Amino acid sequence: MNPIARCPRALAAAMCALALALVGTPARAEQFTVAGASDTVAVSQGQTFTLDLVVRDAGPAFNAFDLCVRFDPARLTNTPMSPLSAQRGALMTSACTTNSPFHLFTPTPDSLVCTMVILCHGVTVTGPGTIYHVRFTAGNTDAWTTVTFGAGTTFYNGGPRVDTLVRLPIVIQIGSPVLDAGGVSSRPVTAELDAVAPNPAHRPGVLAVSFRLPRADAAEVTLLDSLGRRVAGSARARLEAGAQRLRLGLPRLAPGRYTLVLRTGAGEVRTRPWVVLR
């Protein structure tokens, strides 16, 4: 099975649980990063190890999430914890002492779908903090591989989604991977979005965007206002690997903070802040 295929979503169960969580306040549109506690993890061949999945930012608040965790089954094997409740992160379990959080875990050979909802009225949490743990056993070959968060990864605040979500991959080094013929590490690379320039800007009519793709992939770039609403963007298109540059035509923008977002077909999301002046 292709390790970058779309993860299944436990949508029906998540919706039922969210109905119990009661409607809260709309989520604020701020940068929100889900990642591993460490960007790179070194393990031995055959080693069983645990990844702590964290929210790195102080806001916005949330009370539920879906995680879609993807990995290469040729390099990693998921080894569920026993009991499964041990996979719950402290940020979610410490928020409510009267009810255990709703927890659903669905493993497949190349992905994990995890849903958690805090079941206390009006209770939310905010990062930074650990939200979940996943355990893997490394393969018996020296290699670089990655654990990524798929497009199904979503956070909620009483129903509304938390926008501007950044998903950072976790690089796993198994053993001592050899260098390629040119003496360069075979460590995997990820999509990169360059900083916006000029920043701040005085109501430009066009925004120049540059980014890089590690491999041929579908990609789109969107510009969001401070409320997370799309104000401009490119059409989703398949692009070749390497450096890319495009120009976004802009409407008349009000002064304020904006976020440029790059999304790829592989589920990578990169963001850059941008400020428009009067």
Does 8 have pLDDT greater than 70?
A: no
| pLDDT greater at residue 2 or residue 167 | 167
Residue type, position 130, single letter: T
Q: How far is CA 144 from CA 59, 100, 167, 173, 278, in A?
A: 32, 37, 19, 5, 47
> Quick one: pLDDT at residue 186?
59
State how far the Cα of 35 lies from the Cα of 214, in Å rounded to an integer.
19
Pairing of strands 237-239, 217-224: antiparallel
Give pLDDT tens digits for 111-166. 999 999 999 999 999 989 999 999 999 999 998 888 988 878 999 998 778 766 77
Q: Quote the distance between the C-alpha of residue 66 and its chain's center.
A: 11
Give pLDDT tens digits for 118-129. 999 999 999 899
> Quick one: pLDDT at residue 5?
41
The candidate with the shortest Cα–Cα distance to 103, out of 85, 122, 126, is 85
For the residues of 160-174, what is the DSSP string, one character each? SBP-SEEE--EEEEE
Q: Quote the distance between the C-alpha of residue 159 and its chain's center.
A: 19
